[in-house]
Amino acid sequence: MASPLVSIENVDMRYGGPSGTLAVSGLNLRIGRGEFVAVVGPSGCGKSTLMKLTTGLHIPQGGSVIVANSQVTKPVSIVGMAFQNPTMLPWRTTLENILLPLEIVEKHRRRLRSHKSEYVAKAEKLLETVGLKGFGDKFPWQLSGGMQQRANLCRALIHEPELLMLDEPFGALDAFTREELWCVIRDLHASQDVTIVLVTHDLRESVFLADKVVVMSARPGRVIAEHMVPFERPRQLDLLYEPAFNEMVQKLHGEIATARAAA
Amino acid sequence: MTTLDETAPIAAPPRPAVRINWVRLAPLFYTIGLFVLWEVGVRISGLPHTILPTPTRVFEAIVQYWSPIWKNSMQTLYTTVLGFLIAVVAGLGIGLFIGWSKTIYAGLYPIMVGFNAIPKVALVPILVIWFGIGTVPAVLTAFLISFFPIVVNVATGLATIEPETEDVLRALGAKKMDIMLKVGIPRSMPYFFGSLKVAITLAFVGSVVSETVASNSGLGNMMASAQSNFNVPLVFAGLLMLAVEGIVMYALMAWVEKRMTGWAHRSTMAN
Ligand SMILES: Nc1ncnc2c1ncn2[C@@H]1O[C@H](COP(=O)(O)OP(=O)(O)OP(=O)(O)O)[C@@H](O)[C@H]1O
Ligand SMILES: [Mg+2]
C-alpha cells in the first residue's frame, strides 16, 4: 500500500508555553490518500487542534506530523479549510471571496490575471454544484447563513486541494440544509480525487459520510478508537433510517459518553 | 410625529403627494430655533454687546468685516486641511506599521497613549522656537492633534483580524504581507474613514489654538485681536465661521466614509 497522505505520530501539543494547556498528547493517526475520515470526540478534546497540526498552522512540541511525505514545519499549501464560521470577507462579492485562495496559492496567483475567465467559470461551476447558481455577484451579507456556508465550501475547493479539512462546517445549519450539503460533500468526494477530514459533533453525519470514524478521548486528546464504516457507497439518505446505521451511531455515542466520563 | 391627526380615520386615505420630510428639515429648524432663542434671550436679559452680542449683531459684524473674515477663514481652512492631510498620510502609515504585529502594537500603544495625553497647546511654544510664528506651527499643531485617532483606528482594524480568517489564508501559504493586503487593510478602511470625522474636528482645534497664541493670521488670531479691542461681535463672528467650516468638513468626511465603505454599514462587521 502506498504511504499515507497524512501521518501523525505520537504528537504532543501544548498551548501557551510549558505550563499551558496540554491539548493533545500521544496522538497517532494515519489518513490514506482519497480517504474520508471523520473525527469525533468530547468538546474541547483537541479536534480543532488536530486540524491545525495537520495543516501546519501549529507545530507540535513532540512527535511528528508528515503530510505528503514531508515533515510539516510550516503551513502546507495543499489544503483547503472551512470552519463553522464562514469567514467571508464582507467587502468582496461571493465570487471574489471564492477566488481569494487563487490570489494566495503560489501555483495559481501568477496565472490568475491571464486566465481570469477560466477561473471564474470554474468558480461558477462550483457555485452551481452547491446550489448557489447566480449568487456570485451578491455580497456575503446578502446571503443567508446556510448560503454563506455553501460559498465557504466553494472557497475551500476552488484551488483543487488534495486535502480538504472541514471543522464543524455544518454546525450552525438547519437539518434540511445540512442533509443537502452532506450530499454535496458525498458527491464531491465520489467525483474527485480528494482526501477529506471532517470534524463534527453530529455522529450521524460522521457515519453517513466517512470511510473511517476516529474517536478521540477527552483532553489531552488522543485517538481511542477507529471504526471503519461498513456501508456501501454510493450512500443514499435512506441509510439514516436503517437499523445497522443507528446501531453504529449508538455505539459511537456510547464511546464518547464513556470518554467524557473518564475525564 | 407631531402632525395633527385628530381627523385621521383608521384606514388612512392616500396622503397628498407633497409631504414635508420633517426629519430632513429638522437640522434647519433646530438651528433657526437656537438663533431665535439666543436673540430673544439676550434682548430680554439686556446683556450688553460686549458680553454677549445678539445673533443679528454678529451677522452685522460678519457683513461689516467680511473681507478680513473671509481672508482669515481661508487661512484657517488652509492650515487645518493641510495639517489634516499630513495626519491622514502619517496616521495611515504609522497605523499600518503598529498594526503589523502584535509585538509592535503592544510596545508602541502605551507610548502613543502617553503622547496623546500631552495637551497640544503645550507644544505650540516649542514649535514656535523651531519654526517661528505663523502658518507652520498651526499646520503642525493641527497635524499633531488629529493624527492620533487615525493611528489608533487603523491599527485596531489590523490587529483585530479574526483568527479563523487568518488561519484559512495561512493554510494556503499566505505570507504576512498577503494577509495584510487581502484582509487587514480592507478591513481597517471603515475604521480609518470613520476616524476622519473625529480627526478633522480636532484639526480645527489645533490650528485655531496655534493661531491664537502664535500667528498673525487666521481666525484664531483674528478673534484674539478682536478680543483685545473689545470687539465682541467680531469674536462671535469668528466662532460662527469656525462652526460653519467645521460642519462642512465633517459632512464631507461623513460623505467620503459612506462612499468608500458602504459594505461595512450593511454587514455585521460594523462594530
Ligand atoms: N489558541 C489557544 N490557546 C490556548 N489554549 C487553546 C487554544 N486553542 C485551544 N486551546 C485549548 O486546547 C484544548 C483543545 O482545543 P480544541 O479547540 O482543539 O478543541 P475541540 O476539540 O476543537 O473542541 P470543540 O469540539 O469545542 O470545538 C482546549 O482545552 C482549549 O482550551
Ligand atoms: Mg473545535
Sign of the Cα pseudo-torsion (B151, B266, B181, B260, in order): negative
C-alpha distance from residue A165 to each of A13, A126, A129, A188, A190 (Å): 19, 17, 19, 14, 16
Task: Identify the DSSP state of B172.
Answer: T
Nearest CA among B69, B156, B66 for reference residue B105: B156
Residues A133, A244, single domain; the answer is no
Residue range of the domain that includes A91 = 87-160
The answer to whether A145 touches A151, Cβ cutoff 8 Å, is no
Q: For a pLDDT cut of 70, what percent of chain A falls above it?
A: 99
Residue A30 φ/ψ, nearest 5 degrees: -125, 135
A224, part of any domain:
yes
Tell me if residue B171 falls in helix, strand or coil: coil
Neighbours of B217 (CB within 10 A): 20
Nearest CA among A21, A20, A41 for reference residue A29: A41
Tell me if residue A33 falls in helix, strand or coil: coil
* pLDDT mean over B194-218: 92
The answer to whether A42 touches A65, Cβ cutoff 8 Å, is no
pLDDT, tens digit, 9 for 90 and up, residues A94-113: 999 999 999 988 888 888 88
Task: Identify the DSSP state of B183.
Answer: I
Which of A120, A142, A160 finishes a domain? A160
- Give the side-chain half-sphere CA count within 13 A for A208: 22
Q: Whose CA is nearest to atom 23 of ligand 1?
A: A44
DSSP track, B108-146: HHHHHHHHHHS-GGGGHHHHHHHH-SSHHHHHHHHHHHH
Average pLDDT in chain A: 90
Residues A135, A183, single domain; the answer is no
pLDDT for residue A171 is more than 90: no
CATH number of the CATH domain containing A242: 3.40.50.300
Residues A129, A204, single domain; the answer is no
C-alpha distance from residue B147 to each of A88, B104, B143 (Å): 31, 18, 6
* pLDDT mean over A190-203: 92
Residues with Cβ < 8 Å from B227, sequence gap 6 or more?
A: B235
Dihedral angle of Cα A83, B185, B265, A133, to the nearest 10 degrees: -50
Residue A29 φ/ψ, nearest 5 degrees: -160, 135
Which of A112, A143, A160 finishes a domain? A160
pLDDT at B220: 93
* pLDDT mean over A22-34: 92
A260, part of any domain:
no
Residues A71, A127, single domain; the answer is no
A257, part of any domain:
no
Residues A175, A149, single domain; the answer is no
Amino acid, single-letter form, for residue B217: S
Angle at B116 between CA B114 and CA B119, to 5 degrees: 105
Binding-site residues, ligand 1, Cβ < 6 A: A 15-16, 21, 23, 43-49, 219
* pLDDT mean over B8-21: 61
User: Which residues between 104 and 143 in chain A have a beta carbon less than 8 angstroms from any beta carbon of chain B?
Assistant: 104-106, 139-141
Residues A48, A168, single domain; the answer is yes
Say whether residue A199 is in contact with chain B using an 8 A CB cutoff. no
When mean pLDDT is compared across A253-257, B12-16, B29-33, B181-185, the lowest value belongs to: B12-16
Residue where the block lists cell 462579492: A93
Q: Whose CA is nearest to atom 28 of ligand 1?
A: A44
Q: ipTM value, please give it.
A: 0.81
pLDDT for residue B6 is more than 50: no
Q: Which residues pair with A225 in a beta bridge?
A: A215
A129, part of any domain:
yes
Tell me the C-alpha distance between A226 and A115, whole Å. 43
Say whether residue A192 is in contact with chain B using an 8 A CB cutoff. no
pLDDT at B7: 46
Nearest CA among B26, B161, B33, B30 for reference residue B99: B161
C-alpha distance from residue B25 to each of B29, B32, B243 (Å): 6, 11, 19
Nearest residue, CB atoms, B164 vs list A85, A103, A105: A85
Tell me the C-alpha distance between B90 and B80, whole Å. 15
Residues of chain A in contact with residue B183, where contact means CB-CB under 8 angstroms, are: 89
DSSP track, A55-124: HTSS--SEEEEEETTEE-SS--TTEEEEESS----TTS-HHHHHHHHHHHSHHHHTTTTTTHHHHHHHHH
The answer to whether A103 touches A146, Cβ cutoff 8 Å, is no
Tell me the C-alpha distance between A196 and A187, whole Å. 12
- Cα–ligand 2 centroid distance for A89 (angstroms): 21
Say whether residue A77 is in contact with chain B using an 8 A CB cutoff. yes
Residues A31, A58, single domain; the answer is yes
Q: Which of A49, A85, A89 to mutate to test the interface with B (most CBs of B within 10 A)?
A: A89
Residues A238, A121, single domain; the answer is no
Q: b vs e for B23-42, b when ≥16 Cβ sit within 10 Å of the residue's Cβ?
A: eeeeeeeeeeeeeeebeeeb
pLDDT at B105: 84
* pLDDT mean over A197-213: 94
Quick one: pLDDT band at residue A247, thresholds 50, 70, 90?
very high
Residue of B nearest to A161 (CA): B172
Tell me the C-alpha distance between B220 and A33, whole Å. 75
Q: How far is A76 from chain B, CA to nearest CA, in Å?
A: 6
Which of A125, A144, A160 finishes a domain? A160
A216, part of any domain:
yes
pLDDT for residue A263 is more than 80: no
Tell me the C-alpha distance between B231 and B57, whole Å. 11
Residues A173, A135, single domain; the answer is no
Residues A188, A64, single domain; the answer is yes
Q: Whose CA is nearest to atom 12 of ligand 1?
A: A23
pLDDT for residue B167 is more than 50: yes
Highest mean pLDDT among A36-50, A165-179, B148-162: A36-50
Q: What is the largest CA-CA distance in chain A?
A: 57
Residues A73, A177, single domain; the answer is yes
All three cell numbers of B173: 501559504
Amino acid, single-letter form, for residue A262: A
C-alpha distance from residue A253 to each of A202, A203, A221, A226, A262 (Å): 10, 7, 17, 14, 14
CATH number of B60-260: 1.10.3720.10
How many domains does the structure of chain A reveal? 2
Say whether residue A237 is in contact with chain B using an 8 A CB cutoff. no
Beta strands across the sheet bearing A21-31: A21-31, A6-15, A62-67, A70-71
Q: Where are the domains of chain B?
A: 60-260
C-alpha distance from residue B38 to each of B52, B59, B231 (Å): 10, 13, 19
